[in-house]
A = this chain, B = another copy of it.
Amino acid sequence: MAGNSFGEIFRITTFGESHGKAIGVIIDGCPAGLSIDMDKIQYELDRRKPGQSAITTQRKESDTFEILSGVFEGKALGSPIAVTIKNEDQKSDDYGHLKDAYRPSHADFTYEMKYGTRDYRGGGRASARETAARVIAGAIAKQFITHSGIKISAYVSAVGKVKLDKNYQQLDLQQTDSNIVRCPDPEVADKMIALIQNTRAKGDTIGGVITCVIKGCPIGLGEPVFDKLHAELGKAMLSINAVHGFEYGSGFAGTEKYGSENNDAFYSTAEKKIATKTNFSGGIQGGISNGMDIYFNVAFKPVATIMQPQSSIDNQGHDIEVKGKGRHDPCVVPRAVPIVEAMAALVIADHLLRHRTTQL
């Protein structure tokens, strides 16, 4: 049973290899009647696209999407929304030398072992180009969840050892896109940019962390005991290329704490709403949203393709040396911000719909 679908009700299936004819996505279960704003989809794609700034890959990719079905006179029909992006700037020649090679920390070896075959051009299905399809679907999901007053904001909180020491409440998240690294603190952003440029100059790559905040989430989303809201968010994030960790609320730091420090006391607000004084629970208790802000961190490893020679082997087991050709990102997190938001939006959209079926 293959794993190219995500979500139960608001459900997407992505397809496409990086150097095939097209990539794309089908969204099944998008509520009928939703107005689809094409500009908002393009806006999110532009945030993800290569070549957008000095610190991303300079590769150009087509990112002109086409909606083939499911939208009529600007509105969702309730039938599957199929969207494609053609692959155009396919420098397949860049990859011919890698046909038989297993690049370190790439998926070449595991794909070939699993499937007995692979499209070796540019990573094929394992390429991060697949995430463009997620961003399209996420942009539609965002338009749906906006109707429930939900807003998702991700930003870069660490590049290598350069880390934001403020939490999301101390930041103006409107500033995230004001700089090319997408860190809402301009001073830290500058340091991150410098580190990335320095890293690229060495032909190397560097990891980072993205923090994501979901505001306005209604109480009640999440389906215990397995599809807890944070478990679904965690899976969504871990399914993004290069992600190696996820934590929400007090996260790993919370493992060092006492219950008396970590518990969130309930109180009645002036508006007679129930809230918690602290929010170490990260807006989720028992796997269900409690109305407070949801926030989590996503850990990205350094990009595997580096411009330095590395020893490896080919599919005959012979020692070889590989070295990145072409145009690659020295750090993936600036471009991954819209991907994190997209996956979060897909989870929330799905759970908004799932929750509709909970009560009599």
Contact = CB atoms under 8 A, between A and B. Distances in A.
Interface stretch (A18-26, A41-49, A55-63, A179-187): A18-26
A63 to B, nearest CB: 16
B262 A301 contact: yes
Given A21-B69, A72-B119, A2 B78 contact: yes
A354 B256 contact: no
A37 interface: no
B105 A224 contact: no
Shortest 6 CB-CB contacts between residues of A and residues of B = A107-B286, A3-B227, A3-B223, A245-B247, A205-B259, A110-B288
Given A69-B22, A78-B115, A306-B259, A33 B125 contact: no
B258 A357 contact: no
Contacts of A176: none
Contact of A78 (B68, B117, B231): B117
Q: How many copies does the complex hold?
A: 4
A306 B105 contact: no
Contacts of A254: 207, 244-245, 299, 301-302
B32 A258 contact: no
Nearest to A219: B113
Interface string A73-111: 001111111101000000000000000001011110111
Contacts of A265: 104, 310-312
Interface in A1-31: 1-6, 8-9, 11, 13-17, 20-24, 26, 28-29, 31
Contacts of A22: 68-69, 82
Contacts of A244: 230, 247-252, 254-255, 282
Interface range for A: 35 or more
B238 A246 contact: yes
6 contacts: A4-B28, A13-B13, A24-B69, A206-B258, A234-B234, A272-B317
Given A310-B265, A357-B357, A257 B301 contact: yes
A116 B235 contact: no
